[in-house]
Chain A
Amino acid sequence: MPVRTGRKPKLAVWKFASCDGCQLTLLDCEDELLAIAGEVEIAYFLEASRAIVKGPYDLSVVEGSISSPEQVEAIRKVRQQSKFLVAMGACASGGGIQSLRNFADVKEYMQAVYPTPEYVRTLDKSLPMSAYVPVDLELKGCSPSKAQLLEVISAFLNGRRPNVPTHSVCVDCKRQGIACVIVALGLPCLGPVTQTGCGVLCPSHRRACYGCFGPMETPNTESLGAWFTLMGVPSDSLMRLFRTFNAYAPAFKEASERYASAEATHSHDQG
């Protein structure tokens, strides 16, 4: 982390293939927004301002996955101009829901959506930023946590490492004393393999965690999946469970591929 000098650090916010929700997280810091604007120079943030200050930038926060040839060039330029680069959210850190195309034929996808696919330029795969450039920090979540974003900005301004825990949702759920939705409701919950940060949202709403913060540091998806199989969850459901907003994060990708092949074998045996 760079140490502060006399001038205000320059903050840039960039967008790639995404829903704009991660940038909105910053604008949703209603109590802190004007204070942040007092501490940093908002040098590039198109969603909020038409005033653009040239780089280099001290802190770049980037949302979205890399999914077109133009974006590959653009993220390299952002990296060159940025001292500290944060990949924010599930798209930037795990490829996003759009990385479902990585398991399919993108040409067929184009034909399904656009009558004249030749007009559209896209890459075969939607990949996380780290596939193309070195990233200094990944902030997980779809949507990411406002508190974690503020922690990153605050740590940056104070020249310290941000405190972003990498343990599972399950641990925090136990700490909060919430009844386990696997045990009490029989639901296939991804809490044991998903990184914390959301505030244990789904279990506290009597819903199974669907893994929107992506895999935790050392997830055991195989063991968890075996339990779900014992509970009677079919393999095609397990495949879909791991293949959502972080479908291309390695641990979830491997898990979904495991159940996709189990499903293929199963269908073959049946048919």
Chain B
Amino acid sequence: MPQQKRRIVTIKVDALARVEGEGALHIKARDGRPEEVRLDIYEPPRFFEALLRGRNAAEAPDITARICGICPVAYLMSACNALENLLGLSPPPAIRDLRLLLYYGEWIESHTLHIFLLHAPDFLGYASAIHLANDHPDVVQEALRVKKLGNALVTLLGGREIHPVNVRVGGFYSVPHPRDLRAMRDRLLWARDAMAERARWVAGLDFPDFEGDYEFVALRHPDEYAILEGRVVSSRGIDISVSRYDEVFEEQQVPHSNALHSVIRGRGSYLVGPLARFNLNFAQLSPTAREVATAVGAVPPIRNPFKSIIVRSLEVVHALEEASMLVERYEPPERAAVEYAVKAGVGYGASEAPRGILYHRYRVDAQGLIADANIVPPTAQNQKRIEEDLWHFAPQVLGLPVEKATWLCEQAIRNYDPCISCATHFLRLTIERVSGTG
């Protein structure tokens, strides 16, 4: 074999910023082709599934909420869904509406946090939103105002923004007075219009030219853009009830990660989150969200993961619009919660966390204690897909200066708004360049 000049490039980031939790990225490439791509999740595990055993099933919502301070409502809801599935409970429409409203509050808060504080700085070349605010104070101040409104909804219904206290299996501990909800309406409509305008601004950012070949997986509900519950559907024909989740999906462990990787059995990676929901359920977005989407040419299928920031903006518009209608029509339920008797069995539940499907399964004994638990967070489901994006995206950037290439790879990871604290937890990215003969 003739001697040939080879160039080895390694991209390395030890502590990835603007993500939730701790992780690292390592890419090694030879002659412009990646040889190794690793999203190292080194955040130490907290063993939730083990510590849940022997706890009262009624404690599962509050305990699992502590998996993630960014999306505690998602954990509260998926846990309640799973246990109510086991108990055969279905809370009345007024309670369901309050849950939707609480969840929209979390979507608004979490999405505006990610769009403007964590992701937009990448597109505009700033290290953080604080730096961004020096040049574009209006963008950041408006985002903070909308974020605060999302938090206000969560606080009104849940008691506080992080780890709300007011949710229980069967409903709530107490319910708000209609006048307190009505008082939110004008602010929600202001925010809807502000974010509709801002979504156009987001759609005008520069997007790297990149598309992935994804299987999109999301919940689907007959009457609404699914968030609280639904069937699990995919762009390649999956259509199952949540109770069959384990038959179709499985979790695998890899040596470099404290988060398990989810795959579709016999098929491989898939994508959950805003892009999946948008591509599968576009027609159910609120009228204003669809109108803006059409106006900016953001229509399904969107396969460029960098454009997830547009979809998040549209989902914020949707959440604000839906929330404004819910506060208007709210009439308090007769009772804050549906009572139940303890029952043994297995319960399955899922909901759409801001980052995608969050699945819970519990087996409960006759005393009402948890015998075993399984929790699959969205970032665990996307983790393999993030690595695959980097395999395909890296060749486009490996010729650039290291600092630029590294930043673009970080941005590609942030497309997923990864929550490593959920999956276990923080990212490290490494670009290493070596040249020599080989």
Contact = CB atoms under 8 A, between A and B. Distances in A.
Contact of B47 (A15, A21, A48, A98): A98
A101 B52 CA distance: 10
A159 to B, nearest CB: 24
B352 interface: no
Contacts of B160: 143, 198-199, 201
B197 interface: no
B41 to A, nearest CB: 11
B69 A20 contact: yes
A237 B133 CA distance: 50
Interface in A85-134: 96-98, 100-101, 104, 106, 108-110, 112-116, 119-122, 126
Given A19-B66, A46-B15, A100 B51 contact: yes
B276 interface: no
B205 interface: no
Interface residues of B, number: 71
B434 interface: no
Interface residues of A, number: 65
A24 interface: yes
Contact of B165 (A18, A48, A50, A202): A202
Contacts of B93: none
Contacts of B56: 237, 240
A155 interface: no
Contacts of A71: 44
Contact of B163 (A50, A113, A199, A212): A212
Contacts of B107: none
Contacts of A25: 162
A50 B50 contact: no
Name the residue in B22, B42, B55, B174 with the highest tally of chain A Cβ atoms < 10 Å from its Cβ: B22
B191 interface: no
B426 interface: yes
Contacts of A19: 66-70, 72, 421
Contacts of B151: 28, 30
A68 interface: yes
B47 A112 contact: yes
Interface stretch (A31-39, A188-196, A221-229): A31-39
B173 A119 contact: no
Interface stretch (B81-89, B137-145, B322-330, B387-395): B137-145
B147 interface: yes
A142 interface: yes
B63 interface: yes
B53 interface: yes
Interface stretch (B123-131, B218-226, B234-242, B301-309): B123-131
Name, among A17, A19, A23, A245, the residue most crowded by chain B CB atoms within 10 Å (CB to CB): A19
B161 interface: yes
Interface stretch (A1-9, A54-62, A203-211, A251-259): A203-211
Contact of B173 (A96, A112, A206): A206
B97 to A, nearest CB: 18
A42 interface: yes
Contact of A109 (B17, B50, B129, B254): B50
Given A49-B127, A49-B131, A240-B59, A20 B21 contact: yes
B266 interface: no
A32 to B, nearest CB: 10
B51 A48 contact: no
A33 B252 CA distance: 40
Interface string B146-170: 0110010000000111110110100
Nearest to B375: A113
Contact of B70 (A24, A100, A202, A204): A24
Given A20-B69, A205-B165, A67 B63 contact: no
B128 A50 contact: yes
A126 B72 CA distance: 22
Contacts of B381: none
A174 to B, nearest CB: 19
Contacts of A70: 42, 44
5 contacts: A15-B21, A34-B130, A67-B46, A109-B50, A122-B45
Given A21-B69, A104-B50, A126-B46, 17 more contacts: A19-B68, A34-B137, A49-B129, A50-B18, A50-B127, A50-B410, A51-B128, A71-B44, A97-B51, A97-B63, A110-B50, A112-B47, A112-B49, A114-B253, A204-B159, A206-B173, A212-B165
Interface of B: 15-22, 42-51, 53, 55-56, 59, 62-63, 66-70, 72, 113, 117-118, 127-131, 133, 137, 140-141, 144-145, 147-148, 151, 159-163, 165-166, 168, 172-174, 252-255, 258, 260, 336, 407, 410, 419, 421, 425-426
